[in-house]
Every structure is written in structure tokens, then in C-alpha cells.
Amino acid sequence: MSSLVSTPAAALSPCIGICKLGRDGLCVGCLRTGEEIASWAQLDNAQRLRIMQEDLPARWPPMRDDLHTLLPELAALRRALHPLDGLPPGKGWNVAELADLLPPGEPVDAAVLAGLVPRQAGTTVLLTRRNDGLRNHAGQVSFPGGRVDPGDADVIAAAIRETGEEIAIPPRQLQPLGYLDPFVTVSGFRVVPVVAVIDPGYEAFPNPGEVAEVFEVPLDYLMDHQTLRHVTYDWKGRPRTVLEYDWPGQRIWGATASILYNLRQRLEATA
């Protein structure tokens, strides 16, 4: 979840650290042409703003509206998720567990994209592993996401924007389906998970400053009761329970495991 812990990108530049031209001649990270990138330092702020506010948004193809038809679990997900036309209520389903650890004041709004990829062998969940050199949460498995910025229309826009910034999957390859329950973090965020279908033909380009790896885990594995462990340990004065999955080469735990657990609970409750 990049914006929760990282420094914002430099002002007046759309660069997200992925400088590679695609087959269409546009940067897969920021959608600038090679000529625009080469001449960026020579442009004045007015020229940069015009490109960022007018030219780049027009280059995103529209989002697909048929990706949901690829999901065999679609009917179950429709029943389980909060609908897109209304944000789920509540401060967070885990507030009681973390009450003695939460900072004072209102939490900061944030969003993550819980992406489902329809594959021939079965639906998978897209996850990332954070860069080992980051100051916070280094090397941890997470969903793409971060804080809701003032320029974001809503949590969906924030989740889609962060996904583009972190792994360069464009909006046209994402179709939001609904929300999971909000949850809070000890760092003071109220996070809304946006469940979305990801085009199985996507190509991810991890932002090297934030993401070390992009990988997928079968949804069936993550929904299996036998694969989730409840680990209890003493921290800050009392026993705490942390959720954890083991996947070859990865440790999926903490907030990410909690989101997946919430998805399992909601699917089972509405089956």
C-alpha cells in the first residue's frame, strides 16, 4: 500500500519509476511519449501541467465492462460484497481488537485493490511483495493501494490509481465488483478493500522504488480453512492474534491476510 508509507512523487512529473516504452510508443508507467520524456526537463510548469491534466488522461482507454463474465465465482461474489453504489459503513471490523493500539483522532481514508484474475486453471488473487529497501513494511506481501488523495473521486479511484502507480496495470484492465468490510490499521488508516476483476492478459511492471515482485495465488487455496493459521503472541501488554498464510516463497500475513479472511467470511455467510 504505497501512499500509506512512502513519499509522494516529485511535483509536476507523472513518472512512477517505470521508464519503459510499450508497443504503442507510450511509457507503460506514465503514458508519456519518448519525446515527452526526453524533453520534460526543458518544459515549463504550464506545459507540464497541460500534458498531465489534458493529454495523459485522454490516453487511457476506457475501462472494460465485461471482465466480470470471466469469473466463475461471480454470483457468489455479488452476494458477498458490498455493492459499488454505497460505501460499506463502520469504522472497521477489527476496531475492537486494535482499540488500545489505535492513534488518537479520526483515521485517514485509504483503499486497496483486491484483484481477482480469471485463469483457465481457476481464479487467482494478485498480490505484491514490497521492496526490501523500504523504510516501512519492507519485504511484506500486500495488495496495491494507499491513502485516498484529494484528487481522487472516491476509494475506487484511489485503488485504481495506486495500482497503476505501483504495478502499471491500466484502468481499462480492471473492473470493480464491490467492497469488503473496512478495517483499521495501527498506523491510523481506515482501509476499504475494493474487489475487482483483472484482465488475465495484463502485464505488470513493478515500480522498482516500491514493489519487488508481483505474483498470484489460487483463490481456492486462500479460501481453504486449512491454509490459514491464527498465530498468537504477546505484544504491548497482551496476547494478539495475527492471521497468516504460507505460500511457497511468500509469507502472507497481517492486514493482507485479514482482507482475505474477511472475503472468506463474507462468501461463507452468503453461500
Whole-angstrom distance, CA of residue 26 vs CA of residue 35: 10
| pLDDT on residue 137 | 63
Domain end, chosen from 18, 33, 59, is at 59
Summarised one tens digit per residue, pLDDT across range 186-203 is 888 999 999 999 999 999
Strand locations in 96-237 (E): 108-117, 124-130, 141-142, 145-147, 174-179, 183-184, 189-198, 211-218, 228-235
2 is a domain residue: no
The whole-chain average pLDDT of the chain stands at: 89
Summarised one tens digit per residue, pLDDT across range 148-174 is 999 899 999 999 999 999 999 989 899
Half-sphere exposure of 149 (CA within 13 A, CB side): 15
> Same structural domain for residues 106 and 26?
no
Q: Name the strand (E) or helix (H) holding 240.
A: strand 238-247
> Same structural domain for residues 82 and 175?
yes
Higher pLDDT, 64 or 178: 178
> Same structural domain for residues 141 and 158?
yes
Instruction: Record the pTM.
Output: 0.83
84 is a domain residue: yes
How is residue 189 written as a grid cell? 488508516
Whole-angstrom distance, CA of residue 129 vs CA of residue 52: 29
> Same structural domain for residues 228 and 158?
yes
Please tell me the total count of domains within the chain: 2
| Helix extents (H) in the chain | 34-39, 45-50, 56-59, 74-80, 95-98, 155-167, 219-223, 254-269
Summarised one tens digit per residue, pLDDT across range 209-254 is 889 999 999 999 999 999 999 988 887 778 888 899 989 989 999 8
What residues make up the domain containing 79?
67-269
| pLDDT on residue 138 | 63
| 219, 198 contact by CB (below 8 A) | no
> Same structural domain for residues 15 and 115?
no
